[in-house]
Amino acid sequence: MRKILYITLSFAFLLQACTTNKKKTIDNDSGFVISIPEKEGFDKLLFDKVIGKVEKDDYGALTSVIVISDNKLITERYFNGWKKDSVHSIQSISKSITSLLIGKAIELGEISSVDERIVDILPELRTEKMDSRKDSLSIEHYLTMSAGFEWSEKFPSMDKRSSLYHIYRQKQDYVQYFFNQPLIYEPGKVFEYNSGLSMTLGAILQRKSSIELEAFAEKYLFNPLEIKYDWHNSVIWDKDRNGLAHCGGGLYLRPIDMAKIGSMVYNNGAWNGKQIISKKWIERSTSPRIDANTAKKYRNYGYQWWLYTPLFDLETILYADGFAGQNIFIIKEFDLIIVTTGELKKNATASMPLMFDILATNIKFKNKFMQFYEKVNLQNYTVGQFKSEELVSIAQNLVFYSENKEAIDFLNKYSDSFDNDWYYEFYLGKAYFQNKDFEQALIHLNKSLENNAGNIWYLKPYYNNTKEMIAIISKNK
């Protein structure tokens, strides 16, 4: 009897499993399984709150947000007039995709290794009075932005202080122009963000591959992933001597196709069971290769990929970064991929704070964060024990979770440890505001405005939120 009952129950469970699998909804266009946030371990109210803030442009002029959780598509939203099928400029995410193509060329044997020298691949770059140290420059130096050239991209490309300015103003062989820049560091020693190195990687792919660069990308990456794309030439003038696809920032993809790239990297180079890029290259290219802290705080750099040093005892967050809010965030610890795109002309997006807010809606993350908060709060904290950015993020998350009393106590306790007054005043003002202590809120929100005039693009969303809270307080007086 027991045996019959066991067989019957086993069959019932098997039938239920089969039925459940059959109910999986697959998006035929993207290939992702469709789910919803609350089924994948997210707090629905908090998640909806974040999306509502995106709709109000609280994070700036975003055009899309896509969230993949445990390989399931749980959110795909478009804003400010953008549609699903529109290809979007992904700016410097093009660099990360170029890295994938270099890896594929090595896998196929068309490039022997990252140690190949630039002058061996492109011998025409040699000049009579060339600095002899340039002989040692390799593909790896270009992938890690550590070639050592004198270069600056701290200003917009059409600003005369930018090294890119001369490229856009002159009709010349830009690959030669990049190579002709003086060396001011020993190759491999210092990180300096340099789009010219990525554009040269395109020339290397073109020279080493048996087919044209775009055909190579289409055959080995875009077609297997069923990606729709457009790839602009390297520069904005009509007569481009090199005729190359712009590997530094000229690629256009649909946001959902950016998510496919993120998913493939998350899954160690595989997409829907098929290996597209070798696991070895994914591991190598997304590991920290050089300290990039001088360019962005708490950052390392791999092969054209950024790595964000952990906060709250978290594991490293990998991401591809493009101007004006183009991002692919890969957060393996929480099985998350977050894609954002933003309006180039407005250049006013806060995609990193948005990423952390989406992450904060994950229940597993919240539990880990609260453990970290308790650790900080229980210890006899001294300046330098934790990163100042961690302190700001603790305040941000406490306010986000509406733990307002805890946020107020925490901010008052560590007031001397914050190195940026407006952040401190903003979160303290917001905590008081949410706690309905409008008198105290107004004091701190006004202090925040004194140091944040909203004239820097990534501060604009905070500025707007501050003004909004002040207007509500004034209305209720």
Tell me the C-alpha distance between 412 and 251, whole Å. Answer: 47
Residues 6+ apart with CB under 8 A from 387: 298, 311
The arithmetic mean of pLDDT across residues 329-356, rounded, is 92
| Contact criterion met (CB below 8 Å) for 225 and 260 | yes
The arithmetic mean of pLDDT across residues 420-430, rounded, is 91
Give residue 8's pLDDT band: very low, low, confident or very high (50, 70, 90): very low
pLDDT of residue 240: 59
Structure letter (DSSP) for residue 39: G
The arithmetic mean of pLDDT across residues 441-457, rounded, is 90
Q: Where is pLDDT greater, at 344 or 40? A: 40
The arithmetic mean of pLDDT across residues 467-471, rounded, is 95
pLDDT of residue 111: 98
Give residue 157's pLDDT band: very low, low, confident or very high (50, 70, 90): confident
Residues 6+ apart with CB under 8 A from 458: 60, 348, 349, 350
Give residue 7's pLDDT band: very low, low, confident or very high (50, 70, 90): very low
pLDDT of residue 384: 63
**What is the enclosing helix (H) or strand (E) of 307?**
strand 306-308
Q: Where is pLDDT greater, at 316 or 237? A: 316
Tell me the C-alpha distance between 152 and 180, whole Å. Answer: 15
* Burial 35-55, CB ≥16 within 10 A → b, else e: bebeebbbbeebbeebbebbe
pLDDT of residue 356: 93
Tell me the C-alpha distance between 466 and 464, whole Å. Answer: 5
Backbone angles phi, psi at 85, to 5 degrees: -90, 0
The arithmetic mean of pLDDT across residues 443-468, rounded, is 87
pLDDT of residue 381: 62
pLDDT of residue 79: 96
- Of the chain, the percentage scoring pLDDT greater than 70 comes to 91
Residue 99 corresponds to which amino acid?
Answer: S
Q: Kindly report, residue by residue over 51-102, the tens digit of the pLDDT.
A: 999 998 888 899 999 999 999 999 999 999 999 999 999 999 999 999 999 9
pLDDT of residue 171: 63
| Contact criterion met (CB below 8 Å) for 274 and 129 | no
Q: In 3D, which of 45, 23, 43, 19 has the Cα closest to residue 34?
A: 23
pLDDT of residue 15: 45
Identical topology for domains 88-357 and 379-476:
no
Residues 6+ apart with CB under 8 A from 275: 269
Tell me the C-alpha distance between 371 and 471, whole Å. Answer: 36
CATH for 88-357, among 3.40.640.10, 3.40.710.10, 3.30.1360.30, 3.50.50.60?
3.40.710.10
pLDDT of residue 358: 97
- Of the chain, the percentage scoring pLDDT greater than 90 comes to 69
pLDDT of residue 380: 65
Average pLDDT of the chain, as a whole number = 90
Q: Where is pLDDT greater, at 406 or 464? A: 406
pLDDT of residue 235: 54
The arithmetic mean of pLDDT across residues 113-139, rounded, is 97
Write out the two tokens for 325: 């809010």
What is 379-476's CATH topology? 1.25.40
pLDDT of residue 181: 96
Q: How would DSSP label each residue in 437-463?
A: -HHHHHHHHHHHHHH--S-SGGGHHHH
Domain spans in the chain, listed from the N-terminal domain onward: 88-357, 379-476
Q: Kindly report, residue by residue over 278-322, the tens digit of the pLDDT.
A: 999 999 999 999 999 989 888 999 999 999 987 888 999 999 999
Instruction: Give how far Cα 416 sits from Cα of 117, 374, 410, 450, Å.
Output: 51, 19, 11, 18
The arithmetic mean of pLDDT across residues 383-393, rounded, is 73
Tell me the C-alpha distance between 235 and 242, whole Å. Answer: 10
Q: Is the pLDDT confidence value at 10 over 50?
A: no
Give residue 218's pLDDT band: very low, low, confident or very high (50, 70, 90): very high
Instruction: Give how far Cα 98 sits from Cα of 80, 92, 167, 287, Å.
Output: 29, 10, 20, 16
Instruction: Tell me the longest C-alpha to C-alpha distance in the chain.
Output: 92
End-to-end, the C-alpha distance of the chain in Å comes to 76
Give residue 113's pLDDT band: very low, low, confident or very high (50, 70, 90): very high
Residue 372 corresponds to which amino acid?
Answer: F
Q: Is the pLDDT confidence value at 383 over 90?
A: no
Give residue 406's pLDDT band: very low, low, confident or very high (50, 70, 90): very high
The arithmetic mean of pLDDT across residues 207-218, rounded, is 94
pLDDT of residue 20: 44
pLDDT of residue 382: 62
The HSE-up count of residue 409 (CA atoms within 13 Å, CB side) is 9
Tell me the C-alpha distance between 394 and 388, whole Å. Answer: 10
